[in-house]
Amino acid sequence: MTTYIVGVLVVVVIFGLLAVSLDLLIGYTGLFTIVHGALFGMGAYTSAILAKSLGFGFWGGSLAAMVAGGLISLLIAIPSLRVSGHYLVLASFGVQEVLHALYLNLDGITGGPAGMRGIPRPRLFGTEITSNTSYLMLYSVLSA
């Protein structure tokens, strides 16, 4: 496989994980929210910032990303308990836009529209994962 195809497949697997979590929320609870993408981004930025700035590894950053996403979700869920239906969609859309604006405007932390550079590569059993094929295998196993 070419590098491009493997890179696309890595993105497909990552967004497949997002789709599974969205299915859990919408399919089993019947609650439709728009903030899901911003929370996904919160986890990604948390992991990247901790790995780049504080030296957290891939696994520590991933765990911290889950905790950060859960805490932000809890902060959103508590006030949202009183609304449902269209009002829940509107409330979640508002939170989505606030988080989106923060991601774009906090240039010193998130890199703004250009994104973050210099994020260290993950290590698995002491070996740095360098090829896209290795990324594809890692994310495929993690998503299974």
User: Could you tell me where the DSSP H helices lie in 36-131?
Assistant: 36-53, 58-80, 86-105, 107-110
Vertex 25 angle, CA 6 and 139, to 5° = 20
Specify the DSSP class assigned to residue 25.
I
pLDDT digits (tens, 9 = 90+) for 85-98: 889 889 989 999 99
The model scores a pTM over 0.75: yes
C-beta separation of 12 from 137 below 8 A:
no
- Residue-wise pLDDT for 35-93, tens only, equals 888 988 888 899 888 988 888 877 888 889 989 988 988 988 888 888 888 898 899 89
Positive/negative CA dihedral, 136, 33, 74, 28: negative
